Amino acid sequence: MVIVMRPGATEDQLQAVIQRVEEHGLTPHVSRGKTQTIVGCIGDEHRLEEPVLLSLPGVARVLSVERPYKLASRDFATGSTIVPLGDKATVGNGHFAVIAGPCSVEGHAMLRETATEVAKAGAVALRGGAFKPRTSPYSFQGLGEEGLQILARVRDEVGLPIVTEVLDTRHVALVAQYADVLQIGARNMQNYALLSEVGSTDKPVLLKRGMSALLEDFLLAAEYIMTEGNANVILCERGIRTFERAMRNTLDMGAVPFLKRETHLPVIVDPSHAAGRRDLVEPLALAAVAAGADGLIVEVHPDPDRAKTDGDQSLSFEMFAHMMHVGRAVRKAVQ
């Protein structure tokens, strides 16, 4: 249920509505816009009676929200959410952001070189995995805390905020000490304990869609994070598993406009994991820009053919710079 306050409603009137909601055992979530304030009610809304709410001073109307995801729904916000990426960048509501870097942190020199080059091309944040979820237990699993320390050092040297994945509830506090944004990978999209744990932090969360997840499942995963009090969630479409084998995954481009209409959260696209091969990354990235995505997260490596992980889908510096150049033209054309 959403309670829409009248323009010009006083703070006392708003607090009276909040008190009434709490008295009936529901949790109020206030969203303040430039001209309007709404109160979203989480819980058994049958405990609240619409006529009683409408009689309260300052209440304009009461709306029922039928969607199973409440906080992520656009009905629960007065506008589109802008999520901070560290202290210098944002994503959402017209703020386009490109996050770029290697699949995994391999060392200080390669990460600093990558950060310098992607920043020069226009990236506003650096990605890099310290902990890596690998299908094979014999594959490179990342450098762990050493990788986090390298990420933090490069952030200080180059100035890009860092986005890195957290795999386990036991690692959340550790990763949050270093990272500006916590990433939840596709394999963990429905790891509800992990979602709740990152939702309890004060760090923005980049949530990737699961390989077989419906869009409703995706938004309910975001809801798990938001119910813990963390409203800074970035949704990332990264392709889903279908019967097609020409690419690593099938990029669901229709998800971008759907999510943009359904939720107030920023929506970005990962063309690297969708493609699985670097020659297709740029076309998919440009399609995402044209579809209205709020940003991209792209894998870039100084020497992709020698990368320890995901080299086949990693762009070289030159390829990334070209993608950024063309991407700016596409974004300008569709705005």
According to the model, what pLDDT value does residue 316 have? 98
What's residue 93's pLDDT? 95
Name the residue ranges covered by the structural domains of the chain: 2-64, 83-334
Contacts with 81 (C-beta within 8 Å, 6 or more apart), sequence order: 92, 93, 231, 232, 264, 265, 266
DSSP string, 77-105: -SS---EEETTTEEEBTTB-EEEEE-SB-
CB atoms within 10 A of CB 228: 15
Name every residue whose Cβ is closer than 8 Å to that of residue 240 and which is 6 or more positions away in sequence.
209, 210, 211, 212, 213, 249, 250, 252
Are 241 and 214 contacting, i.e. CB atoms less than 8 angstroms apart? Answer: no
The torsion region of residue 8 among left (phi > 0), alpha (psi -120 to 50) and beta comes to left
- The CATH H-level (homologous superfamily) assignment of domain 2-64 is Phospho-2-dehydro-3-deoxyheptonate aldolase; domain 1 (3.30.70.1140)
Q: What is the 3-state secondary structure (H, E, C) of 2-57?
A: EEEECCCCCHHHHHHHHHHHHHCCCEEEEEECCCCEEEEEECCHHHCCHHHHHCCC
For residue 335, the model assigns a pLDDT of: 85
Per-residue pLDDT, 136? 66
Would the CATH topology of 2-64 be identical to that of 83-334? no
CA distance 88 to 161: 8
DSSP-derived pairing of the beta strands 2-5 and 59-63? antiparallel
Measured in residues, the chain has a length of 335
pLDDT at 277: 95
How confident is the model at residue 186, as a pLDDT? Answer: 96
Whole-number CA gyration radius for the chain: 21
Q: What's the token pair of residue 257?
A: 């406009």
Question: Which residues on neighbouring strands pair with residue 183, listed in sequence order?
Answer: 165, 206
CATH classification code of 83-334: 3.20.20.70
- What pLDDT, on the 0 to 100 scale, is given for residue 294? 98
Q: What DSSP element (H or E) covers 111?
A: helix 108-121
Q: Report how far residue 134's alpha carbon sits from residue 260's, in angstroms, rounded to the nearest whole number.
A: 31
Amino acid in position 218: F
| Distant-in-sequence, close-in-space partners of 25: CB < 8 Å, separation ≥ 6 | 43, 44, 47
Q: CA 154, CA 277: separation in Å to the nearest integer? A: 27
Indicate the pairing of strand 97-101 with strand 27-32: unpaired
| pLDDT given for residue 318 in this prediction | 98
Instruction: Give 10-residue mean pLDDT values along the chain (335 residues).
Output: 90 92 88 85 76 87 84 90 95 97 96 98 97 66 89 98 96 96 97 97 98 97 96 97 92 97 97 96 98 98 94 97 98 93
Q: Is this model's pTM higher than 0.85 or not?
A: yes
Q: Give me the pLDDT at residue 46, please.
A: 72
